[in-house]
Amino acid sequence: MERVVDLQALNQVACKMVEPGRGILAADESSGTIKKRFDSIKIESTADKRRDYREMLFRTPKFGEHISGVILYEETLRQNAVDGTPLVKVIEAAGAVPGIKVDKGTKPLPFCPDEVITEGLDGLGERLKEFYEIGARFAKWRAVIDIGRGGNRAIPSYACVMANAHALARYAALCQENQIVPIVEPEVLMDGDHNIDRCYQATELVLKMVFEQLYLQRVALEGMVLKPNMVIAGKKCSKQAGVEEAAEKTLKCLKACVPALVPGIAFLSGGQSDEEATAHLNAMNAIGGGPWRLTFSYGRALQAAPLKAWGGNNANNGKAQAAFGHRARMNGLASVGKWQQALEKAA
């Protein structure tokens, strides 16, 4: 028997996730990734330390003023705060929506050298049912698309883009069947030496194929959120595009590819510095003209400063929360085109 999906409820959650002035905190670092972050501040990555750090972020005063949702790692979804309150309830009480990263990472894609496919579809429907019961109302799945180095145009290959687009669409359909809003994240990496125009071409191809697959899998666009990369030059490119050019080309690409029915687009930061990610988002919202809301879904760009201020010592919670609150506010302003660099210096 076909399950009845409450599309209006999905749309309400999706719209809440991209409300003006608010965006999404990506706190879904895997055990390996959070260990690297903790190594940078010279502390051991234990379950209690991970809990302490994330609870500190979630209990930041006025957390929900600029944070609409939090993407969690499965460990965190199941953890309780020090006082015994489930962390999911701490997030809800702060006015944000709890979400869950559900993909199981990437593996090499057969016969496509240097390209990967995201895994995790097997058993996903049952996992989503359980995550909903625990309190998750949205999910995230990340596809990773690289761009060839040194002018190699064989990457991304059609095979890689198609395989990842299909997996994203299958995941999104399973989410909606289980009354969970899917964040669809096709990330074109910014690690290479490609220029901004090559990034545009690759991003356009990926987004066109993703939305074709979403259509074929009967995903309701009004009940999802897109999490794409921005159109920017690779980190190793000798000619870096300015903020305005990146904003204009990102908007042009999105207008060419993303249907108006999608409630919102929450950008990944992709390794940009804190201020770069904020400036690019602000520039796009200052230009405006798109049918969807544009906001942030940042990890490092929100967490680098508070992690450093915290340093593994709960006595520093106040200082770390102030650093997090500042970055959340800066990006909240950028999501409505009202950020200014002078505000960074005033902090």
Catalytic residue set = 185, 227
> What CA–CA distance (Å, rounded) separates 11 from 25?
20
> What CA–CA distance (Å, rounded) separates 87 from 64?
14
> What CA–CA distance (Å, rounded) separates 255 from 250?
9
Q: CA-based Rg of the chain, rounded to a whole angstrom? A: 19
Helix, coil or strand: residue 43: coil
Query: Phi and psi for 68 in degrees, rounded to 5?
Result: -95, -25
Cα–Cα distances (Å) from 83 to 26, 51, 52, 233, in that order, read 24, 12, 11, 46
Would you list the DSSP string of 138-157? EEEEEEEE---STT-TTSS-
Cα–Cα distances (Å) from 39 to 32, 42, 43, 46, in that order, read 11, 5, 6, 12
The stretches of 113-264 forming alpha helices (DSSP H) are: 124-134, 158-177, 196-216, 243-257
